[in-house]
Structure 1
Amino acid sequence: MRAAIFGKGGAQAPLGRSTLPSAGADFSEVRDWFALLKPRVMMLVVFTAVVGLLVAPATIHPVLGFAAILCIAVAAGACGAINMWYDRDIDALMRRTARRPIPAGRIEPGAALGFGLTLAFGSVTMMGLATNWLAAAWLAFSVFFYVAVYTMWLKRRTPQNIVIGGAAGAFPPIIGWAAATGEVGLVPLILFAIVFMWTPPHFWSLSLWAHGDYARAKVPMLPVTHGARETRRQVLIYTVALIPVTLAPWLVGFSGPAYAAAAALLGAGFLWHAVRVMREAQDEAGRSLVNDAAARAAFRYSLYYLFALFAALAIDKLAL
């Protein structure tokens, strides 16, 4: 905690007043540390991991299952903290990230790095002790892939950063499955492929309306390197490619027709949004003339889409 007699900017508290930190200041600091974990991203990671664990053809004690999911959540938070530590320079240049705890000066970079590394090591160790070391190995690899491969290598070097780096966010269903069964087979790899194929149209929809931030920070996102028109085309291409992948659980006999129907309907909705992104009113360079309304809507839909798709798989499988 901050020294009791100093305020946020380091100035000495006036004499005659209480030098105890206020409850509001304490809560603000806790909130900053929690923000390092990227809780919104963590929610999606945890949900896909839960589904991977629930649909696995093995039972796991509820306490151990909860421990496994907690380990995955903590590891995801560790990735967020280390990512914010490494990206603090470019976060400071982008409007949507400039108020994060590190670039805003509320948390020291070294403290954030230590926090992330501690959480990463602890979550992997606990996963191995609570479930099995195969799940722990997958969890450790997912942390390594997100931090070293995506954050430190791909993100600043290639517009394919999201395509290749999307694997980092696709590991949780595999980890959940491995925690329950102690092995990895075809179905968890299909779930991995679904999240992997979903990531580019999801993130490129975001990058269309955040391209100014990426250009300012010199991050080679697709709209910056190849323009908005090509990005729109890629959103559509990946969405079309995603739909048959989402039907694979039904095609291999793992799920029933209820899931297939849900996947088809959800996919049709995603395709409709992708077509709208492609046809949105644009200038000659493909930049939106209506504040990227279609891209924003596609991004929001993509979040609900993945939640709904995995929920449909869990309901269909558990109801059989």
Structure 2
Amino acid sequence: MTAVESRPAGVLTEGPGHRPFGARAKAFFALTKPRVIELLLLTTVPVMFLAAQGVPPLWLVVATCVGGFMSAGGAGAFNMYLDRDIDRLMGRTSQRPLVTGMVSPRECLVFAYTLAVASTVWFWVLVNPLSAMLSLGALLFYVVVYTMWLKRRTAQNIVWGGIAGCMPVFIGWSSVTNSLSWAAVVLFLVIFFWTPPHYWPLSMKVREDYERVGVPMLPVVVGNKAVAGQIVLYSWVMVGVSLLLWPLGYTGWFYPAAALVLGVLWLKEAYALRARARAGLTGAKLKEMRLFHWSITYASLLFVAVAVDPFLR
């Protein structure tokens, strides 16, 4: 038996048909990676407020969120199908539905295709064709470019693969205006430069997992010190880009003030992580997850500021 064929202790071996309906429903929901979807919708809805310069139609917000959930959920299900061989060997992913046997690979694939098709049709009919194409493009980029090509081949996987996670900004803007703008491009770039310093601390935490399965995440390839230096570099660029909305005339005073304060707090955490990495600290003393958790708070508050700003102009 190969390492990939082995099953960790405690993993279920019975077929999916032996599982209660509630547990099965929960497993299918888990295939969509709901925590990731929360972040994606968090960048979609505030951009709709900025695009509308106020409150967008409620039905449009709901339609965009439902379509976004289905599209991102389909991408997540495809990802779990393609990564099921390495998921069983990593502690962080060893309880995913395909590993435990709660959902079969075939069921997962059918579920993924169903969500992908349904989300595209949903956006096309209820929102607009541009949003439908952007949504489908994001799904294909995440599945084909990131999961199938970049993830297991290059340490820059998160950098370029993160483009898929930037697309909800375009989708939110286009759902309101049926077009794109420089404001959407700026916020797209904010998420682009946010993604690596958001994810690299987590990959530092589970570095041994990635090393075991041969995925070349940056901490595996260059070590924590170099990664921490890259985090500081990307952080500076991210903060700088986040301030561009104001001089371009898309916001009033509130957003840049919030972006500046949040950016200073982010840089403080990034430099603290770099100092700990340079000191050779490891394990609990490295405290890499401090920046990971703060990054989620940062993105949440920054995009809340995006939504609030139109009401204070």
| TM-score normalised to structure 2 length | 0.91
Please name the residue that 1:168 is paired with. Answer: 164
Distance 1:146 1:246 in 2: 24
Q: Give the drift of 1:282.
A: 5.7
User: Is the CA contact 1:276–1:294 (under 8 Å) kept in the aligned structure 2?
Assistant: no
Q: Give the drift of 1:57.
A: 3.6
The code of the aligned residue for 1:245 comes to V
Q: Give the drift of 1:170.
A: 0.4
Matches within 5 A, 1:1-320: 9=14, 25-57=20-52, 61-280=57-276, 286=280, 288-291=281-284, 293-320=286-313
Distance 2:276 2:57 in 1: 50
| Residues matched between the structures, number | 301
User: Is the CA contact 1:249–1:255 (under 8 Å) kept in the aligned structure 2?
Assistant: yes
Say which structure is richer in helix: 2
The code of the aligned residue for 1:51 comes to P
Distance 1:290 1:143 in 2: 35
The code of the aligned residue for 1:307 comes to S
Residue-by-residue CA offset, 1:217-259 (whole Å, 9 max, x unaligned): 1100001111111111111111111111110111211111211
Distance 1:136 1:289 in 2: 45
Gaps in structure 1 of 5+ consecutive residues: 1-6, 14-20
Q: 4+ runs of 1 displaced by more than 6 Å?
A: none
Gaps in structure 2 of 5+ consecutive residues: 1-11
Distance 2:86 2:237 in 1: 32
Q: Give the drift of 1:113.
A: 1.1
User: Is the CA contact 1:282–1:289 (under 8 Å) kept in the aligned structure 2?
Assistant: no
More moved, 53-62 vs 226-235: 53-62
Distance 1:269 1:96 in 2: 28
- Name the SS for the 2:119 alignment partner: helix
Please name the residue that 2:4 is paired with. Answer: none
Distance 1:157 1:94 in 2: 18
Q: Give the drift of 1:65.
A: 2.8
Q: Give the drift of 1:289.
A: 3.1
Distance 1:152 1:253 in 2: 40
User: Is the CA contact 1:209–1:292 (under 8 Å) kept in the aligned structure 2?
Assistant: no
More moved, 89-98 vs 290-299: 290-299
Distance 1:248 1:274 in 2: 21
Give the root-mean-square deviation of aligned CA atoms. Answer: 2.0
Instruction: Name the CA shift for 1:157/1:78 in 2 (closer, same or farther; >3 Å).
Output: same
Residue-by-residue CA offset, 1:132-177 (whole Å, 9 max, x unaligned): 1011111110111111111111000000001101110000011011
| TM-score normalised to structure 1 length | 0.89
The code of the aligned residue for 1:69 comes to C
- Percent identity reads 38
Which has the larger Rg?
1
Residue-by-residue CA offset, 1:11-53 (whole Å, 9 max, x unaligned): x99xxxxxxx8xxx32211111110010000001011111121
Distance 2:145 2:13 in 1: 36
Instruction: Name the CA shift for 1:226/1:281 in 2 (closer, same or farther; >3 Å).
Output: closer
User: Is the CA contact 1:281–1:290 (under 8 Å) kept in the aligned structure 2?
Assistant: no
Residue-by-residue CA offset, 1:184-222 (whole Å, 9 max, x unaligned): 111111110010010010011111111011001110000
Residue-by-residue CA offset, 1:52-109 (whole Å, 9 max, x unaligned): 2121147753223311221011101111111000000111111010110101221111
